[in-house]
Structure formats: C-alpha cells, structure tokens
C-alpha cells in the first residue's frame, strides 16, 4: 500500500508539473500572437553596450575617462534655453534596462531559475514570463538638468532619475545666476546658495530613508564608501542625502497640477523619456568603460605582473561593483 501511494503521489506531481509547463508555454505563445511582436533577447547585449549610444535632441555629450561622470549640453528647440545635463555614475551595480525602446514595451529577459524544495531541484521553464528583478543593492540612476536663459537671473535645477528608461522628476531647486558648467558639480553640496527648494514630487526619499535604516553593518573597505556617492553615505551622514531639504525630510508633496506643469516644461526643454533612456544607456556604457580600464591601471602599477586573461578581467569587474 505504501508503494502504491508513493506511485500515485508521483503521478499527481508529474501531472501538475506538466500542466504548469504547458499553461505557461500557451500563455507566452498567446502574448506573442496578440502583440504581434516577438520578445527581444537582451542576454547578448555585450556588443551593443560597448558602443556609445547617440544622444537625442541634438545634445552633445562630453565624457572624460576616469571621472565616472558625463555631461550633455544642448539648447531647447521651443524656449531657446540653455540645458546642461549632468550625471555621476556609481561604482556599484546599476539596474539593466528591461524596457524595449524599439517596441515601446517591457522586454523580459529569457532566463531559467533553479530552486530547491524539499530536497528536489526544480527548474522553471517559463522563459517569457520570468521578468527580470532588480537587486536591492542596485542603485537608481540619478541625474540633474540645469535650465537657464540670458533673460532670467536664475537657473532651474531639475533633479531627475531614470526609472527603467522612463523619466522621473524628484524635485526642483532654483539657483541664482545662469548656467555655469564649471560649478555644476559643486551645486548640490552648496545648498545655502540656492534660492528655493521646492517640495518632493515623489516619495522615493521615504523609501530610501527606510531602506537605509534597516541596512546591516557594511564593510568600510568596499570601493563605494565615498562621500561623493551620496546614496552610499546617506546612512552615515544624512546631511548629504540628495532627498533632504535643508537637512530635514518633509513628507508633503506637490499638487498634481504643479507636477503636470513641471513635466510639460521639462518636455519643452528636451528633458523627456528619450533623454532618460539615453542617460540610462550611457551610464551603463561609462560604467563598462571604467571597469575595463581598472585592470590595466592595476597591471601598470604592479609592473605587468598580472596575466592578461578574460577571466581575470571579469573577476576585476566584479570587484569594482
């Protein structure tokens, strides 16, 4: 009797597994037929990431290797304002794009995951339904856009972020004077010189504050423990947190009509989803370039003692993230 019950249990489990596999495959096939567009396999994008993307809206990109930052300079075609976009690339891992710019929809990456349950190893075969998930250690890509004109005695700073290739506006800061390219890097640290800091337009700062308080002890020898990386240092010194307003964290948000007007103004000056997608792509390109240049610098410092191999380069890239 015991052998028969075990055999029946195995038959039931195999039937459930067969139904799950066929249901998932039928659902994925239905999605492809309904949309009429096949899913793109983003697992082989290493060659595409090695080439720098082309900036949109006639922006000119400036990037100096070794600085981990890049700047875009352009002019608004609608308002004729000067627009300068600046982005500091983090040393930690950044989320990969899961948004297909060609089709304008999420593009899941086919992958198979292995999980253990009661001593048995099961492999999920549903490739098209396994959407990629971002690690909690991956930081969002933040950048800033400075808009100024010769007719106005002030400069508007838009604090932005790329949410999987889509534009997210976090806040607005007004600075005295025009857009000065040399002082853009020092602007966020000199908050006393700003004229006005508006309310938060999103609640990302609350999530960042909560997640930082629940972090465990972090090794001080990791490479991203720098004061310049404001995200990594927010749990040590909250005064440098980019979401703080004069060293405090308000919980109020702006009304909807204000955010809509600000989004319309940002679109007129060329700050839109297309720019956010480019910043995300170029930030990944800069990070790859900096990581690839890390090993030759160490090899030169050691006098050429490191063997030049692909595996060692990949190992060095993992150390920098």
Distance of CA 226 to the CA centre of its chain: 19
Burial class (CB in 10 A: 0-12, 13-18, 19+), 83: buried
Cα Rg of the chain (Å, integer): 24
With respect to residue 211, please indicate whether it lies within any of the assigned structural domains: yes
Residue 281, φ and ψ in degrees, nearest 5 = -65, -45
With respect to residue 13, please indicate whether it lies within any of the assigned structural domains: no
Distance of CA 243 to the CA centre of its chain: 17
With respect to residue 242, please indicate whether it lies within any of the assigned structural domains: yes
Q: How far is CA 200 from CA 20, 92, 248, in A?
A: 45, 26, 12
pLDDT score recorded for residue 250: 52
Alpha-carbon distance 148 to 274, whole Å? 21
With respect to residue 21, please indicate whether it lies within any of the assigned structural domains: no
Dump pLDDT digits (tens) for 32-44.
Answer: 323 333 333 444 4
Higher-confidence position of 235 and 140: 140
248: which DSSP letter? B
Dump pLDDT digits (tens) for 80-114.
Answer: 888 999 998 877 777 777 654 443 444 444 333 33
Q: Structure tokens of 166? A: 């889509």
pLDDT class for 296, splitting at 50, 70, 90? confident
Alpha-carbon distance 233 to 225, whole Å? 7
Q: Structure tokens of 37? A: 């567009």
The whole-chain average pLDDT of the chain stands at 62
**Domain limits at 218?**
54-95+135-289
Is the CB of residue 55 less than 8 Å from the CB of residue 73?
no
> Per-residue pLDDT for 12 more than 70?
no
Interhelix angle 310-319/273-301, nearest 10 degrees: 110
Alpha-carbon distance 25 to 31, whole Å? 10
With respect to residue 162, please indicate whether it lies within any of the assigned structural domains: yes
Residue 87, φ and ψ in degrees, nearest 5 = -140, 130
Dump pLDDT digits (tens) for 185-233.
Answer: 554 444 444 555 566 666 555 554 444 433 333 333 333 333 333 333 3
Report the CATH number that the domain containing residue 250 is assigned in CATH: 3.10.280.10
pLDDT score recorded for residue 283: 92
With respect to residue 86, please indicate whether it lies within any of the assigned structural domains: yes
- The total of structural domains in the chain comes to 1
Dump pLDDT digits (tens) for 50-73.
Answer: 678 999 988 999 998 888 889 999
Q: Structure tokens of 100? A: 């297909």
> Per-residue pLDDT for 307 more than 70?
no
Q: How far is CA 320 from CA 65, 66, 135, 269, in A?
A: 16, 14, 17, 36
Q: Which residues contact 91 (CB under 8 A, 6 or more apart)?
A: 68, 223, 224, 229, 290, 320, 321
With respect to residue 116, please indicate whether it lies within any of the assigned structural domains: no
* This model's pTM is above 0.85: no
Other CB atoms within 10 Å distance of the CB of residue 105: 11
With respect to residue 308, please indicate whether it lies within any of the assigned structural domains: no
**Closest to 186 measured CA to CA, from 206, 163, 157:** 157
Is the CB of residue 176 less than 8 Å from the CB of residue 153?
yes
């Amino acid at each position: 009797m015991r052998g028969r019950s075990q055999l029946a249990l195995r038959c039931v489990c195999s039937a459930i597994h067969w139904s799950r596999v066929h249901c998932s495959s039928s659902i994925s096939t239905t999605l492809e037929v309904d949309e009429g567009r096949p899913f793109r396999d983003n697992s082989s994008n290493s060659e595409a990431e090695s080439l720098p993307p082309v900036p949109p809206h006639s922006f000119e990109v400036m990037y100096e290797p070794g600085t981990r930052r890049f700047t875009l300079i352009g002019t608004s075609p609608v308002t004729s304002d000067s627009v300068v976009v600046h982005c500091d690339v983090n040393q930690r891992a950044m989320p990969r794009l899961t948004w297909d710019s060609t089709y304008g929809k999420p593009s899941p990456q086919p992958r198979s995951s292995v999980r253990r349950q009661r001593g048995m190893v099961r492999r999920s075969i549903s490739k098209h339904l396994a959407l990629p998930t971002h690690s909690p250690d991956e930081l969002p890509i933040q950048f800033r856009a400075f808009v100024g004109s010769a007719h106005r005695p002030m400069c508007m700073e838009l604090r932005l972020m790329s949410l999987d290739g889509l534009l997210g506006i976090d806040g607005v800061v007004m600075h005295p004077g025009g857009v000065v390219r040399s002082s853009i890097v020092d602007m966020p640290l000199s908050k006393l010189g700003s004229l006005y800091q508006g309310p938060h337009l999103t609640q990302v700062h609350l999530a960042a504050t909560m997640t930082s308080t629940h972090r465990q002890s972090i090794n001080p020898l990791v490479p991203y423990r720098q004061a310049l990386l404001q995200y990594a240092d927010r749990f040590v010194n909250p005064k440098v947190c980019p979401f703080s307003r004069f060293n405090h964290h308000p919980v109020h948000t702006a009304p909807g009509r204000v955010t809509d007007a600000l989004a319309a103004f940002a679109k007129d000056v060329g700050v839109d989803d297309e720019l956010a997608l480019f910043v995300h792509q170029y930030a990944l390109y800069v990070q790859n370039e900096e990581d690839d240049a890390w090993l030759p610098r160490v090899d030169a410092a050691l006098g050429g003692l490191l063997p030049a191999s692909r595996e060692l380069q990949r190992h060095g890239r993992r150390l920098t993230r």
